[in-house]
Amino acid sequence: MKPLSAPDEATRKIGFDGLVHSLQDAHAYGATSVLLVPGVARNGVTYEQCFARSIEEIKKAIPVAKDLGVKISIENVGNDFINTPEQAMEYLDAINSEWVGWHFDIGNVGRRGPVAEKWIQVLGKRIVRLHIKDYSAAPADPAAKGGARPKLLDGDTHWPEVMDALDKAGYSGWAISEQPGNQAADVTTARDLAQRMDRIFAS
């Protein structure tokens, strides 16, 4: 990982080049957005440093994004950076570009801050893409490989409230299922996943 928040310029340059390459690839394949984890606020990098360094690099890439017609979408992950929707809005406002929005991961916010529906209410039309996954409010099992995650609808996400918040925000974009690799990619599993997503969207 070569985060845009890295202390040394050489590492940030690798991360920036990767972002530009992703924008170019997205354009070539007809995609209109690329996911970006902007930085990591740990191991000697403060929140403020992560904020400032990553924004500086993202702003350099905005002309490329605009020229290619591909948005940069920031994802909320477990990187000790941006743990509330208000922080997310502050970050987007500091960048201040229509070419940078949010790739909202519904499952990732479960144990780290306000519930997903609160994030959606705050971010509103800044949401460009969605990751659909569930979470468990129970403490993580240290023996679980890769961090066990419940199947959709088996966790603690308030799906009716999430769908209602998305409707009120006017969201009509892609909803991308992101599931653990330990769930075998066979026809039965894929059918079950599709049925669960249908039930979520109908809620």
Mean pLDDT of successive 10-residue stretches along the chain, which has 203 residues: 94 97 98 97 96 98 98 95 96 98 94 88 97 88 66 95 97 88 72 94 89
Please choose, from the candidates 163, 148, 185, the residue with its C-alpha nearest in 3D space to the C-alpha of residue 116: 163
Total-model pTM: 0.92
Handedness of CA 81, 107, 127, 59 (dihedral sign): positive
Distance (Å, rounded) from C-alpha 181 to C-alpha 185? 8
Residue showing tokens 């017609």: 69
Q: What is the pLDDT of residue 203?
A: 82
**CA–CA distance, 14 with 2 (Å, rounded to integer):** 6
Q: What pLDDT does residue 143 have? A: 63
Give me 130's structure tokens: 């969605």
SS3 labels along 31-68? CCEEEECCCCCCCCCCHHHHHHHHHHHHHHHHHHHHHH
Residue ranges and CATH numbers for the domains of the chain are: 9-202 (3.20.20.150)
Place of tokens 């144990």: 111
- Encoding tokens for residue 58? 């993202």
- Predicted pLDDT of residue 189: 87
**pLDDT computed for residue 187 by the predictor:** 85
| Closest to 150 measured CA to CA, from 183, 120, 119, 176 | 183
* Per-residue model confidence (pLDDT) at position 185: 64
Q: Please give the pLDDT value at position 171.
A: 97
Rama region for 151: left / alpha / beta (φ>0; ψ in -120 to 50; rest)? beta
